């Protein structure tokens, strides 16, 4: 029976970063992945010679001196082929047919939008200054051993929507500023201000794509972990966590083999983690019910589109398209309603100036796919395939209004739904951003790495912050429970 200091369940970004941190600090680690490919939502796939990303499209805050730059330097990821998006317009919000540009850098961001909203310039500066202050204090805010200490802060208890209403008195500008937020679930009642501010600030500072696909992040971390003596095992599904004398003593793999460790970290959904513990002296039913009943954010439908050659020029920015101005209704199910919002992301071509493939993403709710729950990938039936193609056609119709010649330039279409994410990543209901955070119930919906079992820890987007930056910060929280470091003393 193999023995490690730490066994990590799941090879998503959180699991791999925890593996890197602990291996770098001298711990023997083993990362287990149930699928043939590591990476979770950072996986890529190849079709017809093109590389498609599954969950990764662009990141913010990677410039010199910025927050993610500091973290990625620690992880050895700054040598990857990062490409900066257009500084004059890294994001384009198209609201009811009118285009608005988001420029990089807080000063240029304000000046550019003020050209369209001159009467809101002072309000825009106030908005921008607030976001920048949140970003400037990111590491200071999280320099604590106990994340729960953060949740008394008005940044977490205040509604993001209320902040927008109080800061920006032009309703159109409020929608424009919310328009790039398909990176989170906009819920007027629940979304904490901190999440909204931290994510938007990082992208305003600088926005980046990676040439060749997001899986390079995971591949780099995997190579580093193995060089430092760590082990990564694919097709190794955790089927049971074995508790002995109030601690986890071993993990069962594929219903057969067992591996022992001093600590276990789960990068899978907390509810799925508890399913692995059949009987426990530490896990009470009230705790299980609490975790099981936590609401999850919506999922994402993606149309991965392969293009005919040399027809659609590569666009070095993202396009967020909205046909209606009800942006903050995304927290409500939209089943049986036509697609009225989408993010269009261009895959950076390896050569040339024409796009070879694009992704169109739109929110999708579990009740839209629930009837096929329990079916297997590639065996869900004709009704499911027809549903996907109808959804894809709606996305393409929306995007075609703003991308000249798109309809006639499509070669192949590949689609994924929340069911796809649920099957490949184990995410409850294919949730895109993990457990839904509620600013009025922070201690209930924002989890710490600790569980009732002392040597079982959690990590990943389901805890407190999602996204590349949020998950990276959370990884340090988790590892500090083992090493005794202050949260960000590592870097």
Question: Three-state DSSP class for 163?
Answer: helix
Instruction: Using CB atoms within 10 Å of the CB of residue 6, give its burial: 0 to 12 exposed, 13 to 18 middle, 19+ buried.
Output: buried
Could you give the angle at which helices 106-116 and 121-136 cross, rounded to 10 degrees? 160
Helix crossing, 467-483 with 13-24: angle to 10°? 40
On the question of pLDDT at 487 being above 70, the answer is: no
Percentage with pLDDT > 70 across the chain: 95
Please check the confidence at residue 49 and state whether its pLDDT lies above 90. Answer: no
Is 251:9 a contact under the CB 8 Å cutoff?
yes
* In the predicted structure, residue 333 carries a pLDDT above the cut 60: no
The Cα 116–Cα 143 span in angstroms is 39
Q: From residue 119, give the alpha-carbon distance in Å to each of 34, 88, 161.
A: 55, 21, 21
> Average per-residue pLDDT in the chain?
91
Position 52 scores a pLDDT of 81
Inter-residue contact 243 to 282 (CB < 8 Å): yes
Q: What's the pLDDT at 310? A: 95
| pLDDT class of 146 with cuts at 50, 70, 90 | low
Q: Is the pLDDT of residue 108 over 60?
A: yes
Residue 144's pLDDT is what? 56
User: 70 pLDDT band (50/70/90 cuts)?
Assistant: very high
Quote the radius of gyration of the chain (alpha carbons, Å). Answer: 22
Q: What is the mean pLDDT of residues 75-81?
A: 96
């Amino acid at each position: 029976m193999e023995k490690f200091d730490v066994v990590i369940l799941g090879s998503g970004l959180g699991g791999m970063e925890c593996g890197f941190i602990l291996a770098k600090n001298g711990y023997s680690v083993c990362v287990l992945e149930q699928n043939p490919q590591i990476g979770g939502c950072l996986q890529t796939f190849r079709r017809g010679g093109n590389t498609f990303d599954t969950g990764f499209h662009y990141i913010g805050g990677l410039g010199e001196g910025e927050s993610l730059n500091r973290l990625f330097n620690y992880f050895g990821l700054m040598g990857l082929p990062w490409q900066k998006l257009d500084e004059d317009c890294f994001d384009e919000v198209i609201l009811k047919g009118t285009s608005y540009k988001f420029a990089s850098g807080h000063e240029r961001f304000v000046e550019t939008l003020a050209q369209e909203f001159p009467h809101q310039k002072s309000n825009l500066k106030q908005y921008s200054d607030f976001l920048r202050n949140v970003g400037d204090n990111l590491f200071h805010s999280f320099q604590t051993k106990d994340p729960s200490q953060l949740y008394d802060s008005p940044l977490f208890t205040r509604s993001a929507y209320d902040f927008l209403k109080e800061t920006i008195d032009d309703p159109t500008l409020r929608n424009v500023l919310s328009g790039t937020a398909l990176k989170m679930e906009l819920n007027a009642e629940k979304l904490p201000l901190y999440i909204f501010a931290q994510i938007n600030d990082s992208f305003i500072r600088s926005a980046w794509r990676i040439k060749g696909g997001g899986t390079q992040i995971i591949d780099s971390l995997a190579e580093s972990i193995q060089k430092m003596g760590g082990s990564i095992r694919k097709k190794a599904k955790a089927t049971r966590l074995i508790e002995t004398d109030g601690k986890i003593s071993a993990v069962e793999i594929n219903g057969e083999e067992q591996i022992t460790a001093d600590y276990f970290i789960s990068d899978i959904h907390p509810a799925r983690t508890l399913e692995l513990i059949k009987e426990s002296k530490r896990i009470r039913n009230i705790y299980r019910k609490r975790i099981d009943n936590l609401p999850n954010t919506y999922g994402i439908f993606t149309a991965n589109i392969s293009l005919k050659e040399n027809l659609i020029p590569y666009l070095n920015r993202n396009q967020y398209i909205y046909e209606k101005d009800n942006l903050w209704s995304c927290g409500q199910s939209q089943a049986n309603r036509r697609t009225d919002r989408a993010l269009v992301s261009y895959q950076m071509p390896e050569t040339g100036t024409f796009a070879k493939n694009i992704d169109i993403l739109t929110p999708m709710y579990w009740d839209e796919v629930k009837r096929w729950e329990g079916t297997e990938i590639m065996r869900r039936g004709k009704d499911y395939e027809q549903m996907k193609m109808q959804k894809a056609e709606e996305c393409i119709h929306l995007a075609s209004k703003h991308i000249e010649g798109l309809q006639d330039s499509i070669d192949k279409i590949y689609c994924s739904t929340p069911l796809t994410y649920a099957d490949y990543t184990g995410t409850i209901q294919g949730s895109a951003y993990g457990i839904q955070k509620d600013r009025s119930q922070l201690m209930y919906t924002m989890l710490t790495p600790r569980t009732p079992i002392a040597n079982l820890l959690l990590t990943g987007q389901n805890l407190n912050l999602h996204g590349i930056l949020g998950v990276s910060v959370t990884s340090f929280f988790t590892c500090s429970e083992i090493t005794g470091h202050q949260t960000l003393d590592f870097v």
